């Protein structure tokens, strides 16, 4: 009896070691994939707050919660199984699908630039492609839906990057790593977004502190600084989010072209970045990255600008007609 119990305990210990090793492997792979996707994570964090600007303070966290839930649903229910299926059965489809998503990001970013440069024309364009929000709820629903669509493209890129870092083989390990990365990045991104959009409320609370001590005075000063500075910070973040969509979308397009052998644009951008990095070695890595991001941004802006009339005069009318047919 005792010998059998000891043998059973040995088996349990061996299984525990295997499980621990597998867990360590999953965590390690997820960490490496998360680092490679860090650029997209930053872009996602910069893009999202602009969808919350303009709403009542009481609606900010619920809106972020809706977008976060939509993002998690995108990653776990749609993108994760789709990534595994495409990787196993149709890997040739991954690149064109990512390029279509990149083109959408380019279009979204270029449309925001168009709104700033030619506001009257931009209003006409929006009237052609969008329905009119009749009340605050429909406006909120439209903003949430738009944010989730943009997040879907960024999430697809994150999942693709994650999958590209994983060794071929065990599909269950791949699925677990994709799930860990998806959940972890969603928590990080939307936790950061929630802190950003509620910082002004924190500032109001700190500024209202009645403590007469030196700490109280410092907290009131910090609170006033937050209240005064957050509108400018959110404006800057909105600009960064628009730029992020353009350079990320342009980068996806450039990389996709390279997959098909059209490497001249990618090589030119990389060469320009390397030249600038060598010219200013003290900040070479940062300067090189800025140049390459700007190069991808130029490509993204060109693609997005080309898509604005296509969407306005071709795709949007077809989509509206299709919706009308379905309703009828």
Distance CA 246, CA 269 (A): 15
Distance CA 166, CA 285 (A): 26
Structural domain containing residue 105: 22-327
For 84, other C-beta atoms within 10 Å of its C-beta total: 17
- Over the Cα atoms of the chain, what is R_g? 24
Question: Is residue 307 in a domain?
Answer: yes
Tokens linked to 103: 């083109």
Residue with tokens 């790593």: 177
Distance CA 79, CA 87 (A): 12
Q: Judging by beta carbons within 10 Å of its beta carbon (0-12, 13-18, 19+), is residue 49 exposed, middle or buried?
A: buried
pTM: 0.74
Residue 211 carries which DSSP code? -
- Classified as helix, coil or strand, 113 is helix
Contact of 196 with 212, CB cutoff 8 Å: no
Question: Is residue 11 in a domain?
Answer: no
Tokens linked to 205: 């609370």
Domain count, the chain: 1
Residue 208 carries which DSSP code? T
Question: Is residue 107 in a domain?
Answer: yes
Tokens linked to 176: 């677990």
> 252: number of CA atoms within 13 Å, CB side?
31
With helix as H, strand as E and coil as C, how does 30-71 read? HHHHHHHCHHHHHHHHHHHHHHCCCCCHHHHHHHHHHHHHHH
What number of residues does the chain have? 328
What confidence score (pLDDT) does residue 20 get?
41
What confidence score (pLDDT) does residue 68 get?
92
Distance CA 289, CA 301 (A): 18
What confidence score (pLDDT) does residue 312 get?
80
Question: Is residue 13 in a domain?
Answer: no
Q: Across the 328 residues of the chain, what is the mean pLDDT of every consecutive 10-residue run? A: 45 41 50 54 70 76 92 92 88 87 88 82 57 66 85 83 73 84 87 86 82 79 87 81 86 92 94 90 84 94 93 78 62
Question: Is residue 177 in a domain?
Answer: yes
Distance CA 49, CA 237 (A): 8
Residue 213 carries which DSSP code? S
Question: Is residue 12 in a domain?
Answer: no
């Amino acid at each position: 009896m005792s010998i059998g119990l000891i043998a059973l305990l040995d088996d349990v210990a061996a299984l525990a070691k295997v499980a621990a090793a597998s867990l360590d492997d999953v965590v390690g792979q997820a960490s490496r994939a998360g680092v490679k996707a860090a650029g997209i994570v930053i872009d996602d964090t910069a893009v999202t707050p602009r969808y919350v600007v303009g709403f009542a303070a009481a609606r900010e966290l619920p809106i972020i919660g809706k977008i976060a839930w939509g993002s998690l649903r995108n990653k776990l229910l749609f993108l994760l199984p789709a990534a595994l299926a495409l990787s196993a059965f149709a890997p040739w489809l991954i690149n064109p699908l990512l390029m279509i998503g990149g083109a959408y990001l380019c279009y979204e970013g270029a449309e925001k630039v168009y709104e700033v440069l030619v506001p009257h024309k931009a209003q006409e364009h929006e009237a052609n492609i969008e329905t009119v929000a009749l009340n605050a709820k429909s406006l909120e629903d439209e903003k949430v839906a738009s944010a989730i669509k943009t997040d879907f493209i960024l999430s697809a890129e994150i999942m693709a990057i994650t999958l590209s870092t994983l060794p071929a083989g065990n599909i269950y390990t791949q699925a677990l790593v994709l799930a860990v990365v998806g959940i972890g990045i969603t928590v990080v991104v939307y936790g950061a977004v929630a802190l950003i959009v509620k910082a002004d409320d924190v500032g109001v609370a700190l500024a209202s502190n009645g403590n007469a001590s030196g700490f109280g005075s410092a907290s009131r000063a910090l609170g006033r600084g937050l209240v005064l500075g957050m509108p400018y910070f959110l404006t800057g973040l909105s600009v960064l989010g628009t730029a992020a969509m353009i350079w990320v979308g342009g980068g996806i397009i450039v990389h996709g072209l390279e997959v098909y052998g059209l490497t001249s644009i990618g090589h030119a951008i990389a060469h320009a970045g390397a030249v600038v990095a060598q010219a200013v070695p003290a900040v070479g890595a940062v300067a090189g990255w800025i140049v390459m991001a700007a190069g991808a941004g130029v490509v993204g802006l060109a693609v997005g600008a080309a898509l604005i009339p296509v969407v306005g005069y071709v795709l949007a009318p077809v989509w509206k007609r299709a919706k009308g047919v379905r309703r009828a």
